[in-house]
Structure 1
Amino acid sequence: MSKLLIVVDKLQDWGPFFQYDGVMTLADYLKWQGKSRQRVRLINLCRQSQYLGSGYYCSLLAEARNHHAIPSIKVFNKFNRDEIADVIDDIPVALTKQLNKALADNPESQLTFQLYFGETNERSLKKVADYLFEAFSVPILHVDLIKKQQWQVKTIRIGSLHKLTESQQTQFAEALERFSHKIWRLEPNKRQFKYDLAVLMDPKEQFPPCTPRSIELFCKAAKKAAMDTEIIGARDHQRLAEFDGLFIRETTAVNHHTFKMALKAEREGLAVIDDPNSILRCSNKIYLQTLFEQHQVPVPDGLMLFKYDADNLERAADLLGLPMVLKIPDGSFSRGVVKVKTMTELRQKMTELFEQSAIILAQRYTFTEFDWRIGVLNGQALFACKYFMARNHWQIYKHGSGKTQSGAFSTCAVNEVPAHVLDAAIRACAPIGDSLYGVDIKQDGDRVYVIEVNDNPNIDDGVEDLFLGNKLYDLLVEDFIRRIELKR
């Protein structure tokens, strides 16, 4: 379990707030030892933010101790190197428009508002606040606005706790409660958890990589191993540092908050499944095809088609024949994947897919009744399933108007899988990483073809866990603990 510290210049600066044993002066922090190898999160509320001031030294020393401070020393250096203007100049046009829309009826020419851990009472300015807090993660941030031809951010400044008014103290305390709930949460008397794990989920996701029951079983296994779990969402990205690990159970994409949260968690020193490199590598079929070819991983014959090449149709038909499969690089759950049987279909579908991507992957079509899905964790096969094609369809998922159908499945022991299938799965994961993957493989007699490696594979109760049962979740928890201990 991580420890949260709050460092101030004078203890009376914390006087108006909830009394917490983690509050200390900078001098006390220098003497503080803590538990060996314990993760420490530090909120730096020292008064002096200038170069070589007390606040600067607090974050500098925290970094030297491998403690995770807010503000970080990098943020202090942004202020001291006058990088504020560059960040302000880079504010997206859409946010500037939103700012002007929100303040359209305001008669003033200058305004100041405060951010407390990225929050503001001005709901219309929330996205601007999110942008500034992402660039300058500071507990208290003063934002000065000026109206010339339009409203714009003039400058930003680090605020001081001891200068807050009574109403501002209330806002600060409420924001801190949401940002770091550990200060206000009563610790259990009978049991202390050794590890804290965040599980990222979106309850509204149409095709989530897990069922609620599988998450419940995972959390139960974690509790047995002295690991506390908490379900978080996209809005909790600034709380990541209070955890030891992040388990992403939401469909990932590079241009998505899942990737940003994986990056942030990795920077904060968390054990992350799936890590950002795995997301980056697995999310693009063009990348995977090239990677597999370089590492002699068996794949279907494939060809990259470029939007402005005039001979795309002829090259594809000559090399791969018909029918063939066309894929956009970042499709998931069988979306963005089409089979074409004629040259007319090929021309039509290529035109449609080139509207979504400058490059299309064309592959030779191989019929199989099912695809193998081999779950791989840390280079070892974890589970094995056969996913059968949807009824009267050539894919596992059949997407219709407002309805999606999927085929049947069969789960078996890993040692029942043909050796060459397992070998292909392990070889496919090796150049990607050591995280949790789901490898899709077609088997045609003695030949196998790796279709793709998924960085965020489904683990549904009654499907992937059908053979191992609760043992599957125990193995996931054990591997998380191993990764957390390695980070320490």
Structure 2
Amino acid sequence: MNKIIVVNQPSRWLLNIPGVEVVSSRRYLSDKKFSTLKNVRIFNLSNDYAYQSRGYYVSLLAEARGHKVVPSVKNILDLKERSLAQSVSEDLNDLVQKSLKRIRSKEFILSIYFGKNVSNQYSKLSRELHKLFQAPFLRARFVHIGDKWEIYSVRTIPFKEIPEHHLPFVQTFAKEYFGRKRYDSARKGKHLYDLAILTNSKEVAPPSNKRALEAFAEAAEKLGCYVEFITRDDYNRIPKFDALFIRETTAVNHYTYCMARRAQSEGLAVLDSPDSILKCANKVYLAELLSTAKIPTPKTVVLSSDNPKEADKMGYPCVLKLPDSSFSRGVVKVRNREEFRTKVREMLKTSDLVLLQEYMPTKYDWRVGVLNNEVLFVCKYYMAAGHWQIYNWNSPKKSDVEGNFDILEPSQAPPQVIDIALKATRLIGNGLYGVDIKIVDGKPYIIEINDNPNVDAGVEDSLLKEELYNKIIRFLLDQINKEPLFNQTEVKSFDVTKKSSALH
């Protein structure tokens, strides 16, 4: 494999490396000769890797040309992330403490040249940091906080800033480095992909409990992922990941949708996809979709200020739902005309449309978990004690907020429950869904389709255990290398600023 060093000014390159061509960044970017070369490894030693700088474009075009490049664009972006330095500090904590235990100052700067330092005592630490960040010249800054050392930042060093008395060491390191036939790839092997899991620690009823989130992370790491739990504040960091997994209750006029849409526009694999959020989050849309497909649902009427008397035709009691309700919130049962008038008036202040549905009392609802048009699990969710819904948020006893559950093998569930669930989810897509179904007089009725279904440790995973988490993560990772769902013209036309009002 041919090796090429790219620098800003070859005339100022002081190292003599046999068998390695040295070219300017300007020439590498503009000379068509380099765009057609095959079997090439590029070592980008530009002075600056800032976004859209010449050094940045060297790595970007090298990747586009199919050249193996060090550092990669991902490495360059990683070097700008303060949070990544913090996570690395945690991963390498024992090595950092051992390596710096004799340092008495409050700050320490470690210069790393091709994975080595001029002092052998820091060789292992230098090697590990180089494996992670891959830039030929690195400067790691450590600070002593409390009773331990932490990595504060990792940055590249322009060649011109290398101290003169270090140059003989750099020459030796360089000959060894460029003489290699194999190179460590940044976070590859151990981490094939970067997975972001969106969560909200303040959410009262999140779709996954803490143990389930840990299980998802463990499954992803075993499958070769670097996993990071992110929040709404990480919107601008989405492009650095390969996949986004949303484990927070979604809504369209909400940052969860904006983050899903941003991820999709950047080419990430996304679960839940913005398309699924759009289709599932609005019950008016679902009612129309299911009705058109002739899939049984409770009798349903879409109310507006123009037809407020429809409940009289439906009969009492009946159920009112806000279009974007979830986890039983925004869903009320009205027992008579007076309650109906009061509640519908309140709801129409929030939404121009409100859903009116036939009341179907049952002891439990069926929940069918579906992934990629296959059944993952089947649950019976029993109504909360003394209540008509699975959740009773007004219960004075915390233990009575949720009802009990039974989990079954799909083969144990009534066939009509499985059939109607799969028929319904095919209308939405091939993602992860939870289909709520009631059986009345032997006939199944779809209540709703959730794009962000519960996957809680101790409940939905009771039968499959860790395999449930493996299946979901495998599906998400399989999407990374698939063709995008829309063309680049559509991607470019997407304007995030149009959704800025939802990023609150």
Q: d(CA) in 1 for partners of 2:233 and 2:370?
A: 30
User: Any residues of structure 2 matched to 1:414-453 within 5 Å, and which?
Assistant: 414-453=410-449
**Structure 1 vs Structure 2: percent identity of aligned residues?**
41
User: Any residues of structure 2 matched to 1:319-358 within 5 Å, and which?
Assistant: 320-358=314-352
Is the 1:266–1:275 Cα contact (8 Å) retained in structure 2?
yes
Q: Secondary structure at the match of 2:482?
A: helix
Cα distance, 1:183–1:233 mapped onto 2, change above 3 Å: farther
**Deviation sequence 1:88-143 (CA, Å, 0-9, x none):** xxxxxxxxxxxxxxxxxxxxxxxxxxxx99xxxxxxxxxxxxxxxxxxxxxxxxxx
Q: d(CA) in 2 for partners of 1:181 and 1:285?
A: 49
Cα distance, 1:183–1:292 mapped onto 2, change above 3 Å: farther
Matched, 1:481 2:441: no
Which residue in 1 is equivalent to 2:232?
Answer: 234
Deviation at 1:224, TM superposition (A): 2.0
CA RMSD of aligned residues (A): 4.1
In the alignment of these two chains, the number of paired residues is 356
Is the 1:327–1:337 Cα contact (8 Å) retained in structure 2?
yes
Q: Secondary structure at the match of 2:448?
A: strand
Q: d(CA) in 1 for partners of 2:208 and 2:39?
A: 37
Cα distance, 1:250–1:27 mapped onto 2, change above 3 Å: farther
Among 336, 345, 363, which residue is 2:357 paired with? 363
Q: Secondary structure at the match of 1:202?
A: coil
Is the 2:250–2:452 Cα contact (8 Å) retained in structure 1?
yes
Is the 2:25–2:58 Cα contact (8 Å) retained in structure 1?
no
Which residue in 2 is equivalent to 1:316?
Answer: 311
Which residue in 2 is equivalent to 1:303?
Answer: 301
Matched, 1:224 2:222: yes
Which residue in 2 is equivalent to 1:293?
Answer: 291
Which residue in 1 is equivalent to 2:366?
Answer: 372
Which residue in 1 is equivalent to 2:468?
Answer: 472
Matched, 1:412 2:377: no
Q: d(CA) in 1 for partners of 2:303 and 2:425?
A: 25
User: Unaligned 5+ residue runs, structure 1?
Assistant: 1-7, 16-23, 36-41, 49-53, 71-115, 118-169, 171-177
Cα distance, 1:27–1:439 mapped onto 2, change above 3 Å: farther
Tell me which amino acid in the other structure corresponds to 1:343: R
Q: Which has the larger radius of gyration?
A: 2
Matched, 1:245 2:274: no
User: Any residues of structure 2 matched to 1:76-475 within 5 Å, and which?
Assistant: 192-307=190-305, 309=306, 311-313=307-309, 315-318=310-313, 320-400=314-394, 405-475=401-471
Cα distance, 1:190–1:478 mapped onto 2, change above 3 Å: closer
Cα distance, 1:61–1:312 mapped onto 2, change above 3 Å: farther
**Deviation sequence 1:128-163 (CA, Å, 0-9, x none):** xxxxxxxxxxxxxxxxxxxxxxxxxxxxxxxxxxxx
Q: d(CA) in 2 for partners of 1:371 and 1:414?
A: 15
Cα distance, 1:43–1:208 mapped onto 2, change above 3 Å: farther
Q: Secondary structure at the match of 1:328?
A: strand
Alignment TM-score, normalising by the size of structure 1: 0.64
Cα distance, 1:327–1:63 mapped onto 2, change above 3 Å: farther
Q: d(CA) in 2 for partners of 1:346 and 1:298?
A: 25
Q: d(CA) in 2 for partners of 1:11 and 1:385?
A: 66
Deviation at 1:28, TM superposition (A): 4.6
Cα distance, 1:399–1:47 mapped onto 2, change above 3 Å: closer
Deviation at 1:279, TM superposition (A): 0.7
Cα distance, 1:227–1:442 mapped onto 2, change above 3 Å: same
Is the 2:283–2:324 Cα contact (8 Å) retained in structure 1?
yes
Deviation at 1:350, TM superposition (A): 0.9
Is the 2:28–2:58 Cα contact (8 Å) retained in structure 1?
no
Is the 2:365–2:437 Cα contact (8 Å) retained in structure 1?
yes
Deviation at 1:297, TM superposition (A): 1.5
Q: Secondary structure at the match of 1:354?
A: helix
Q: Secondary structure at the match of 1:286?
A: helix
Deviation at 1:469, TM superposition (A): 0.9
**Deviation sequence 1:397-435 (CA, Å, 0-9, x none):** 112288761111111111111111111111111111111
Cα distance, 1:357–1:242 mapped onto 2, change above 3 Å: same
Cα distance, 1:249–1:286 mapped onto 2, change above 3 Å: same
User: Unaligned 5+ residue runs, structure 2?
Assistant: 1-5, 14-23, 41-47, 67-71, 75-79, 82-140, 142-150, 158-183, 485-504
Is the 1:214–1:461 Cα contact (8 Å) retained in structure 2?
yes
Deviation at 1:227, TM superposition (A): 2.2
Cα distance, 1:235–1:189 mapped onto 2, change above 3 Å: closer
